Each structure stands twice: as structure tokens, then as C-alpha cells.
Structure 1
Amino acid sequence: MKIIRLILLILHIGIFFLLTGMLLNAYIPPKISPWFNLLSLGFPVLMIVYISLTLFWIFCWKKRAFVFIFSGLLFFNASIRWINYMPAKNDLSDLKIVSFNTKGGKTAGEQNIEKYLNSQNADVLLLQEESGNGLNFSGYTRGSIKALTAVFTKHEIVDEKLIDPDSEYIRSYGTQTDIKIRGKIYRFINVYLHPFKFEKSMVKLDGNNVQDEEKIKNIVKRLIPTFKIHQEEVAAIRKAVESSPYPVILAGDFNSVPNSYEYYHLSEDLKDAFMETGRGSATSFHDYKFPIRIDYIFSSKSIQPVRYTVDRSVRISDHFPVIATFRLQR
């Protein structure tokens, strides 16, 4: 039994250091070391094992349980970016946003997407993987820029711009749209970071050691270059946020999980609406069984999130729609 406990202790300490390494994404960009970003992908599993081992030490009445409990507090914020239980707010909202990767209508057809989004009666629709002219919403004005994203709003569009990374090799996947709402201008930044372009067969392990090892190698080979592309895209988006003379709402499909380099830097000086008001799981991509949150809505500190919902009642894309309401500063 002592040998088993020693092995579990070593495992527990190892997981602690892996989780701590994940936190370094706030400081170390992928072009210097992409390995910390890889750790963020495994956070749910690592955290579940960490908690399970902590409970084991409690059950065994070991003093080390207290060490792991207090050490685990380092990962509290990291955890509530995935699962959160904020009390419901009774504040009145005056802005509703839907961010949704429609997958170009390939899953359920454009008519079903139109029907759903029209039923939401949102002020602003921020769509990803939707650069065509297929969708049409009554009472909305569509932004004129096409970059695999689309903006629809019931309010006046004052200005719009493509967000270009500072590289001739990277295609822009983001836009900024300045919209006047009740006499005040807000900047909406709609992004779709470079996709990993995985198919299910590429990530599904089938128990064959040789084939599974080759699949894992191919996954890593695809992830690391994409992380580096994201770094340049993030820099361009941050420039659009920091140079904005207006309050900002940043939303979209980041193709990045919480606690990643992308998350830390895109959320800098902004509120994560899920952390402020979310309840339950923030998982927004449902094509795989593994919990994945890659869709977000952030806002400037002057914009107060009131409610955040991942709408799991519909499966009209491989993403769930993400809906947030806000209280605007008067």
C-alpha cells in the first residue's frame, strides 16, 4: 500500500506542475514555447485527476491533503472558466448579443439557422464561418465586410474594418464594426481564429498502439503551427481593442480553450461574460465527446454582463449558440 501511495503522490505532484505550467500561457507566447498551450487542452482531465487524488488523501486522513487543497486554489479561476455557478442577476439588460459559428449552414441548413436567430430577437448577431450572402434577417443591417465572419445588427453601423495580422502569410479572420446604440458608439470585434481543421477520424484513437501514436504525432504537428498563427492574430486583435475610442465587445470562435495563450491575451482588461454571470458548463463545441469551450463573449469593464447562456436546446451546427445580455452604461 505504501508503494501505491508513493506512486500516487508522485503522480499528484506531477499533475500540479503540469497545471502550473499551463498558467505560464499568460506570459510565454507559442513562438517561444508552444508546449504550455498544449497543456491547456488537457486542463479538464488534469483537474479532475488532481481533485480525485486530493479526495483520496482526505479519505486516507493524510496531512498532505491540506497542502494539495491550498495549492489547488491556484487553479480556481482556471476552473471557473470552464464550469461556473454565479448567482442570477436581477439587473435589467438593454443589449442582447448572439455569437454563433454556423458552419456555413452545412449541418441543419440556412433556413433553420435563420429561424432560430430570428427568434432570439438580438440587437447584434456575430456569426462565424458565414461569409456568403445566404442568410437574411428581417430588420437587420448586415456589415459589408466578408472574412469568414458576418455581423448583423438592428442599429446603425458607423464604421467597419478588416482586422489584418501583421503578416502577408496569414489571412484575416476578424472584423471590427462600430455600431451606434441608443446614441452611443460601441466597437464589436467578431473573430474566427485560424482553425485546426481536424476531422473526427484524425483525433479518434482506436486502440492500435502504432496507429494511435502516429495520430497523436500528427495532431501535435497540426496544433503547434496553428498556435503560432494565433499569436499573430491575437496581436492584431489586441491592437483593435486597445486603440478603440469606444467600449468594446469581443466575441467569436477563438479555436482556443480557456487558460490558453489566446484566452489570456484576448481577455486582458476585458470581462469574460461567462465568468461574470455564467452557470453550469461553458462547453460550446459539441462535435467531440471531450468538453471543449472555444466560443466567448468579452466586454469592456464599462459594460456590465447580466446573463450568459450556452443554448444547448438546438443542434444546428457543430457549435452551440452563445448568448449574452448586458447593461450599458448610461
Structure 2
Amino acid sequence: MKKLSFINKIIYFINAVFAILLLLSFLLPFTPPKTFSVLSVLSLGVAFLILCNALFFLYWLIKLKKQFILSLVVLFIGYVFFGSLYKFSSSKHIEDPNNFRVMNYNVRLFNLYNWISGDSIENNIVDFIKTESPEILSIQEYHPHENVDLSFFKYKFEKLSGKKTKYGQAIFSQHPIINSGSIEFPDTGNNAIFSDIVKGEDTIRIYNIHLESMRIDANVESLKKEDSERLFNRVGATFKMQQFQTELFLMHKKQCNYKMIICGDFNNTAFSYVYRKIKGNLNDAFKEAGNGFGRTYEFKFFPVRIDFILTDKAFAVNGFKAYNEHYSDHYPIMTTLSLQKD
């Protein structure tokens, strides 16, 4: 430190703060939000903290200063425990005659209130889904829009709430649905639904989860105007609700003996407590076959992945794609699966 200039000492101090915050964030998947709700807010910024530490590492490396070791060690610890934020490998795609595709998409009420400027956004969403032709479609923030026709799916289950505007979750399928239901979350319009789908000789349980929203504006300028203490308290309270909702879901899931696929908008990242609990020993389709950041939510300056498709070990993950179609504040994701032979 003595050999550093005054400016570099300040930079290294900031580097140390970001490194400590990133280290703390590695504890979050193991820390119930009900215990440390304020600390859990850090999970939203893990991607940002990783990118910042990567930049600090490059800065010191270019200057040939040993201070690069700090961020290098922290990033290495994160990689060992959680894997890479960015997947450098190319997307995996394996052809299999038993392949079928599952899509997850938060459609934001099919742009009912014109959040996105442009004509017929709802029709663009339908055309996109029809073109990509998933066999199973899981939708959050679904609304029975008068211009939306998804009748090219043979079967569906939807669970709606709301007085004036009906909204909720829906599952569409090209294969017969023999049983469906909802896991009600108290004091919210969010919930989890499920459908048991018969594909060939197998019955597959599809879950569609929509955990409590943080109601954070994706516009960074709007966030700057909001009182930081109030924001932290609100997000902390939301994370407590997400933990309770996750506990309700896991109790329901425990009673299911079918092969399982879990889709949903968790409103939280892969570094969160709720993600770790829901994932359990399941496969994350993005980690198995995706590439890049796997961004699923529109947030300025850095990528956010809060929508997931998880599968149990009975399925081979033969492909994954995160799309860039901007018809909602979320981006659709789709995985290609096949049932592995016993």
C-alpha cells in the first residue's frame, strides 16, 4: 500500500469494500431472509459486484500491482461455490427423437397498459410463441386479453384473480392435462400452479411459480430518486414473503412423486436463498445447456436472471435459449428436454 499513489489507495479502498460485499453475498443462499432481511437485499446486486471485482482485477493486473490478488481470490471463491456468472461455452444442442421443448415467459399482462410503445405487442408475443412452438408453455402475469389467441395449444390450465382486471398464471400444453391446481399464497395476487401432463407413457408434473415481486423500477434514474432506507425495508419485507411462499411451495412439492419440471419468475437471482431452496438437487437448464449471461429481466447496465426452468434428474437437458424479444419487462426462455431411459 505504501508504494501506491494517493488515487490508487482510494481505488484500492473502494475495491476492498466491493470485495467484502461480494464475500458477504456468498452467504446469502444459506441465510433465511426472515433472519437477515436487510442483508438479503445484496442478492440483487451480486452480478454487479462480480462485474465490479472483475474490473478491479483487470485494473491492477494491467498496472502490474499485486493488489489484483484481492479480487482474484474473491472471484475464485465465488466460482468454486456458485459457478461462473457468464457461461463462455457455446449453447448445447443435442438432437434426440424424444426431445420436447418447454418455454417460460412472464408476459406482463400482454402489455395491457401499453408499458412498451408500439402496436399489437400482444400479437407479437403470440406470433413469437407460435414460431418457437414449445410443447409446454408456462406464463406468469397472464391475462385473458381479447386479442390473444393461444388456441393452437390443445390444453390449458389458468388460475386468475383480480376484480376489474383478471390476471394470474397459466400452463399451456400440446399433451393432455389430467390434473391441475393452485398453491395459494396469502395476501397477494401471486401464487404457484401445477399441471400433471401425460406425454407418451409418462406423467410429468409442471409447476409454474410466481414469487412476490419487489416492485423495483428497472429505470436506474427512478431508483436514485427513491429513499434508500425505504427501498431496503420494502425489498427486505418482500424477501421474507418470498421465503414463506417458497416454504408453502416446497410442502406441496414434497407430496409429488411424478417426474418434475419447475418453471417460474422467482423475482430473485440464482444467488438467493429462495433459488437455492427451490432448486434443491434439480438441474438449472441454463447452467446445463445455456451460454452468456442468460438475462431474463430488463435492467439497465447489468444482466439480471430471475426466471428459471429447473428439471429433475429424469430429464436430459439438450438445449437452452434465452431470447432477446422485447415484448415485456421479462425475456422468454426455453429449454429442450428428453426423458432419460431408466
What TM-score range do you get, normalising by the shorter chain? Answer: 0.7 to 0.9
The 1:156/1:20 distance shift into structure 2, 3 A limit, reads: same
The 1:46/1:172 distance shift into structure 2, 3 A limit, reads: closer
Q: Which runs of 5+ in 1 are unaligned?
A: 207-211
Equivalent residue for 1:327? Answer: 338
* Cα distance in 1 between the residues matched to 2:139 and 2:86: 24
Is residue 180 of structure 2 the alignment partner of residue 160 of structure 1?
Answer: yes
Runs (4 or more) in structure 1 with deviation over 6 Å come to none
C-alpha deviation, 1:56, in angstroms: 2.7
Equivalent residue for 1:193? Answer: 211
Equivalent residue for 2:271? Answer: 259
* Cα distance in 1 between the residues matched to 2:53 and 2:38: 20
Is residue 154 of structure 2 the alignment partner of residue 140 of structure 1?
Answer: yes
Equivalent residue for 1:122? Answer: 134
C-alpha deviation, 1:184, in angstroms: 0.6
Instruction: Kindly indicate whether the alpha-carbon contact (under 8 Å) linking 1:287 and 1:319 is maintained by their aligned counterparts in 2.
Output: no
TM-score relative to the length of structure 1? 0.87
Residue by residue over 1:144-170, the C-alpha shift from the partner in whole angstroms, topping out at 9 and shown as x without a partner, is 5336110000111121121134xx434
Residue by residue over 1:163-203, the C-alpha shift from the partner in whole angstroms, topping out at 9 and shown as x without a partner, is 134xx4345511121111121111111011112234467x5
Residue by residue over 1:32-66, the C-alpha shift from the partner in whole angstroms, topping out at 9 and shown as x without a partner, is 11233211212222112212222233233334434
Matches within 5 A, 1:1-330: 1-66=4-69, 68-76=71-79, 82-93=85-96, 94-106=99-111, 107=116, 108-132=120-144, 134=146, 135=148, 136-146=150-160, 148-165=168-185, 168-199=186-217, 204-205=221-222, 212=224, 214-286=226-298, 288-312=300-324, 314-330=325-341
The 1:196/1:75 distance shift into structure 2, 3 A limit, reads: same
Give the 3-state SS of the residue equivalent to 1:237 in structure 2.
Answer: helix
Give the 3-state SS of the residue equivalent to 1:145 in structure 2.
Answer: strand
The 1:299/1:59 distance shift into structure 2, 3 A limit, reads: same
The 1:222/1:311 distance shift into structure 2, 3 A limit, reads: same
Residue by residue over 1:196-225, the C-alpha shift from the partner in whole angstroms, topping out at 9 and shown as x without a partner, is 234467x5259xxxxx46433332232121
Amino acid paired to 1:204: E
* Cα distance in 1 between the residues matched to 2:14 and 2:336: 43
Amino acid paired to 2:28: N
The 1:104/1:321 distance shift into structure 2, 3 A limit, reads: same
The 1:124/1:131 distance shift into structure 2, 3 A limit, reads: same
Give the 3-state SS of the residue equivalent to 2:227 in structure 1.
Answer: helix
Give the 3-state SS of the residue equivalent to 2:159 in structure 1.
Answer: coil
Give the superposed CA RMSD.
2.5
* Cα distance in 2 between the residues matched to 1:72 and 1:175: 37
Amino acid paired to 2:23: T
* Cα distance in 2 between the residues matched to 1:219 and 1:259: 20
* Cα distance in 2 between the residues matched to 1:158 and 1:77: 42
Amino acid paired to 1:44: A
Q: Which runs of 5+ in 2 are unaligned?
A: 162-167
* Cα distance in 1 between the residues matched to 2:5 and 2:275: 41
* Cα distance in 2 between the residues matched to 1:11 and 1:199: 27
Judge which range, 320-329 or 232-241, deviates more: 232-241
Give the 3-state SS of the residue equivalent to 1:316 in structure 2.
Answer: coil
Percent identical pairs in the alignment equals: 22
Give the 3-state SS of the residue equivalent to 1:279 in structure 2.
Answer: coil
Paired residues, what number?
321
Give the 3-state SS of the residue equivalent to 2:304 in structure 1.
Answer: coil
TM-score relative to the length of structure 2? 0.84
Give the 3-state SS of the residue equivalent to 2:87 in structure 1.
Answer: strand
Instruction: Kindly indicate whether the alpha-carbon contact (under 8 Å) linking 2:93 and 2:289 is maintained by their aligned counterparts in 1.
Output: no
The 1:105/1:281 distance shift into structure 2, 3 A limit, reads: same
C-alpha deviation, 1:133, in angstroms: 6.6
Residue by residue over 1:90-136, the C-alpha shift from the partner in whole angstroms, topping out at 9 and shown as x without a partner, is 52241201111111111544332222212222110101100437542
* Cα distance in 1 between the residues matched to 2:226 and 2:198: 52
* Cα distance in 1 between the residues matched to 2:218 and 2:15: 31
* Cα distance in 2 between the residues matched to 1:60 and 1:289: 26
